[in-house]
Every structure is written in structure tokens, then in C-alpha cells.
Amino acid sequence: MTVLRLAELAQRFDLQLVGDPEVQISGVCALLPGKPGLLSFCADPRLRAGLAQTQSAAVVLGARDAKNFAGNALIAADAAVAFARIAALFDDRAGFSPGRHAAASVASDAQIGADCWIGSGAVIESGATIGAGTFIGPNCVIGRDASIGAGSRLEANVFVSARCRLGARAQVQPGAVIGSRGFGLARTREGWIEVPQLGAVIIGDDVEIGANTTIDRGALDDTVIEDGVKLDNQIQIAHNCRIGAHTAIAACVGIAGSTQIGRRCLIGGAAGIGGHLKIGDDIVILGRAMVTKSLTAPGAYGSGLPVMPAREWRKLVGRVRRLPRTEARVQAIEQQLKIMPSDGETEIEQPDDF
């Protein structure tokens, strides 16, 4: 078990220490109720009241909150970031002993780097390359000529299709599918025929892919996920999409084919993004938004109705349904009174994508 003195943590992460430097820290915990011997943090102003009640041995704080805290503290410019880095020291899940389970199947010409682990039931096909220090969990499948970068970790049941490439330090959660066939179909009088999906998926360094997330291979060109992208669980990324560096996408988002998303974007849960669109850099898309047109200007965008009491929601829906009749009445009154739209005004039109 890892045990570190508070002074060691302060020195390692260049933090200001307030209190007893000899306090022993053996792990991390939530601020409330907190636990003796463990470290917690407070980065949300709404949780400040909990500082007086926490039982934690020490707390990571910003300078403003530390002024009113009487306990042991590590003061950081960004408490959440500092806490995340400290917490990684106590995460023993990432450790493993190199080797290969007897039930793993590895092609004779696959290249396996030093200090890797290949778990039970894993299949590594011909021509695949596994970088040094990589963990391949049980029942993972690494397809023909695929490549996994050094220091990566693929948990159980991850599928990486032929010719797909993951960069260094990839983190892939259980059930993720990388390089599945894109949804390419051509319609004939007799029905649908499949359009071959001949591209691959190219993923940069330091990318995280959540459980049961699916990234389709490109039709002709590749689907590309750039460095530092963070993908939550149960996301669908269709063929030929490109996700810019350091963009974060929350769970249950669906992105249709050939859409490009810029760098440092934040996309809320359950958002839907149409195909062949361009989303610029530094754009925030709120949860449950439906994006049907390209967005170029940085800023926050949303759609859909925030939650409200059911009775109010029913009234609002009723008003929306009455809008066409209300508009028709207004136009009839305008015609009767011979009121013309003023300069710069146009008649209200239904959006094409409504």
C-alpha cells in the first residue's frame, strides 16, 4: 500500500503546505464525510460548507478557501487538477506483471513489445504491433496489421479492427469497438447494398475511449481521433469523422458520418450531431442538443428544453402546437390592416431542418 507524507506530496507537485508536514496519506476520498488518513479536495464553491465537517487528514484547496480552513491543506492554483495528479499515485489498478496468459492467441508474426501483458482469451492477429509496456485485457481482439502504441491499456473485450492504429498511452474501457464497419449503404430497387468501408481508424496519443463506445472505420479515407481526446461511454462516431485534439465528449453522444469537430470542444451528454458538418475550435455543445448545421464561432450552443414540472411542460407544448394558428391569425390581421413588414424584417419561415 502506498503511504506518503503530506510534505512529500507538496514537494512532488509544487504545492503550498499548511499544517502538519508529517501527516501520513494512504489514499484519497470525497470531502464528506471524509476519512482519517485520506486526502480529499474542494474545488466547488458549493462544497465550502463541508470543509468544517470533513474527517479527511488533509484537503487540497485553492488559496481563497484555505483562508478559512483550520485543518491540514495543500494549496494549489487548480485544486481539481492537483488532486487528480495526486490521486493517480494511489491507483493500483494500472499495475501489472508482464507476461502472456496460456489461453491467449498471438500470431507468430505479431510484434509484441517489452513488458506487455496479454490476457486470457485475447487474440492478436497477423502483422499486429503492440508497443512496449501495454496491457491487453482478457478477450480483446487486435486485428490484422493493427497497431497499439506504447504504454496503452485495453481492458476486457476491446475490439480493434484490421489496420487501425492507436497512439501511445491509449486508455480503452471494456466493450469499446474501434474500426467497426461504417454505415455505408446504397439503395437499389431490390433493396440496400453495402458500400465497402475501406478506410481505417487513426487515433493519436493520450486518448481515452469509454466503455461500449464505437468508432467506425472510414469509407475511403480514415476516421481520425487526434491527440488527447477524451470519449465517455456509449458514444457513436460514424465513418470519416475527425475529432480535434483535446476535445471531450460525454456519454451517449451520436456523431453522423464525415463530420469534423475542432480542438478543445466540449460536447454534453446525449447530444446528436448531423453528418457532413463542421464544428469549429473551442465550441461547447450542451447536453441533449441537436446540431443540424455547422457551427463556426466559439461559444456555447444548446437546444431542447430544460427539465420543468410536468404540468408546466404540458402547457408549454400546448402553446408550441398553437403557434401555426397564432401566426396565421397575426398574418390575417396584418393583411386586413395593411401592415407591411418594416425594413430588414421578413416573414417567419419554417427552418428546413425543423
pLDDT at 49: 87
More confident site: 352 or 124: 124
Q: In the block, which residue shows the cell 457551427?
A: 295
What would the pLDDT profile of 140-194 be if each residue is shown by its tens digit?
999 999 999 999 999 999 999 999 999 999 999 999 999 999 999 999 999 999 9
For β-strands 278-279 and 260-261, DSSP reports them as parallel
> Do residues 181 and 198 touch, judged by C-beta distance below 8 A?
no
Of the CA atoms within 13 Å of residue 3, those in its CB half-sphere come to 6
Is residue 230 helix, strand or coil? strand
Residue 350 has pLDDT above 70, yes or no: no
- Stretch 80-102: mean pLDDT: 91
What would the pLDDT profile of 291-331 be if each residue is shown by its tens digit?
999 999 999 999 888 889 999 989 999 999 999 999 999 98
Over pLDDT 90: what percentage of the chain?
Answer: 83
Asked which of 51-60, 255-264, 308-317, 340-349 is least confident by mean pLDDT, the reply is: 340-349
Strands of 262-330 (E only): list them.
Answer: 266-267, 272-273, 278-279, 283-285, 290-291, 299-301
Q: In whole numbers, what is the pLDDT of the chain averaged over residues?
A: 93
More confident site: 352 or 199: 199
Architecture in CATH of 99-301: 3 Solenoid (2.160)
Specify the CATH class of 4-93 in words. Answer: alpha beta
DSSP code, position 315: H
What would the pLDDT profile of 1-30 be if each residue is shown by its tens digit?
789 999 999 999 999 999 999 999 999 999
Q: Determine if the pTM surpasses 0.95.
A: no
For β-strands 153-154 and 171-172, DSSP reports them as parallel
Q: Which residues are catalytic?
A: 239
> Do residues 23 and 7 touch, judged by C-beta distance below 8 A?
no
Domain boundaries, the chain: 4-93, 99-301, 310-347
Q: DSSP string covering 123-165, please? A: EE-TT-EE-TT-EE-TT-EE-TT-EE-TT-EE-TT-EE-TT-E
Q: Which residues pair with 165 in a beta bridge?
A: 147, 202
Query: What value, to the nearest 5°, has the Cα angle with vertex 129 and ends 123 and 135?
Result: 65
- Stretch 266-281: mean pLDDT: 97
Alpha carbon of residue 157 to chain centroid: 19
Contacts of 13 (CB under 8 A, 6+ apart): 74, 76, 82, 85, 86
Alpha carbon of residue 14 to chain centroid: 29
Is the peptide bond between 33 and the residue preceding it cis, with omega within 30 degrees of 0? yes
Alpha carbon of residue 79 to chain centroid: 21
Contacts of 177 (CB under 8 A, 6+ apart): 158, 159, 161, 212, 213, 214, 215
